[in-house]
Amino acid sequence: MTGRSRLEIGTYGDISTIRTGRGTIRAEARYRDGDGMVRKVTASAATAKQAKQSLRLKLQRRNTATGFGVALSPESTVAELAAAWIEDVRVRTDLAAGTKDLYRRELTSLVLPTFDTFRLREVTTGRVDQFLKRQSLVSYAHARHSRVVLNLMFNYALRHDALHRNPVAGTARLKQPVSKPVALSLDELQLVRQAVASWRSGPSVSGPRPDGQVQDVIEVMLGTSDRIGEALALRKSDVDDTTSPMQVTVAGTLVVIRGRGVYRQDHPKTSSSHRILQVPDFTAEVLRRRLGLLEDADGDHLIFHTRVGTPLAPNNVRRTLRKMLEDAGLADLKVTPHTFRRTAGTVIARASDVETAADVLGNSPEVAKKHYIQPEEPKPIASPALYLQGLAPRRELTAARRT
């Protein structure tokens, strides 16, 4: 007696039917999945014909999608794919901890609320395209981040044979709103400095007074063009006061990771962000004063820190700055820590050129010009009428018209 022949991957055996106790007909067949395992697949309906049709459709959709190690198929939900992908992200060694946490947060907040219960086969290009268009009406940044996460996640599904194509690939290109970087004028900067210096400083103020760190951070960001995380990550050893002018090395940044809190990452955002900067006198004065408070500390001690020596959270600095400006009636200026970076980059570009500003910012000239350097207002052309006088009609033509 010969046994049953071995099924090829992606194929199924004979379909049989059986009446269930509920009065329905259940069709079932053996199916060999992509991992080589043979599994029973079933489908129920009111009649045997309908049950068989339903089972064939289910087997067709199942295809050969179950991959090695990760059981994903077109019938898997997006939530199941998301769990597998984020675990793959977690164990990767080529991604920074901050990038991993960013993917997790954007997946949870932007993508899963819409797609978590969809099966992979139901996530079509049209559905993704409409989702991204709705996102872009709220925020271009949200739409762009959602697209990145969806694209990475469905590429992961492709690598595990759960799908034959990435539904994100055919979506329409997102159109970024036209915006120009805005820097503070000297008058506006003076208003901000006054607001920060005088915040909660009156005699009638109760409770603890500001420790002045936000005010000092602003002067450091203005004098270095640092990002907020880079400024807060400066250590005692990063400041060299033996040279003139003082030099500051940007060699790290602060990141915030769920479950770990705020910590210093030993490299900045990009490789070009690692740089040595000469700082102006007003920034050097602030840093000397801060270093004076750290005479007995080791070189790794942060310039800016909490009362217990831990890093200042960037979001807390942002929140305090926003409150300072609101209390001073300057909320309309819409100043954020990045505003000081744009202001520094714009001043350098005006005094030298875009390339020099880009070097100080730690960006390419294209990125610096697009995001950090405020465009100059067009200058009027002097006396254009003088240049165009040669186009005036000849006198004989004018006389002929009159006659």
Distance from C-alpha of 285 to C-alpha of 164, rounded to nearest angstrom: 61
Q: What is the mean pLDDT of residues 282-307?
A: 95
Mapping DSSP onto H, E and C, the string for 359-403 reads HHHCCCHHHHHHHCCCCCCCCCCCCHHHHHHHHCCCHHHHHHHHC
- Chain-wide mean pLDDT for the chain? 89
Residue appearing with tokens 């055919």: 170
pLDDT(277) > 70: yes
- How far is Cα 86 from Cα 70, in angstroms, rounded to an integer? 13
CB 250 within 8 A of CB 361: no
d(CA 158, CA 65): 9
pLDDT-based confidence at residue 398 (cuts at 50, 70, 90): low
Span 190-198, mean pLDDT?
96
Average the pLDDT over each of 114-118, 279-283, 347-351, 388-392 and give the range with the smallest value. Answer: 388-392
State the average pLDDT over residues 10-21. 89
The whole-number average pLDDT for the span 393-399 is 67
3-state secondary structure of 325: helix
Over the range 315-349, which residues count as b (16 or more CB within 10 Å of their CB) and which as e?
eebeebbeebbeebebeebebebebbbbbbbbbbb
Least confident span in 19-23, 76-80, 354-358: 19-23
The SS3 of residue 326 is helix
pLDDT higher than 80, residue 357: yes
Q: Which residues make beta-bridge pairs with 274? A: none
Which whole number is the average pLDDT over 176-203? 92
Give the model confidence (pLDDT) of 110-148 as tens digits. 999 999 999 999 999 999 999 999 999 999 999 999 999
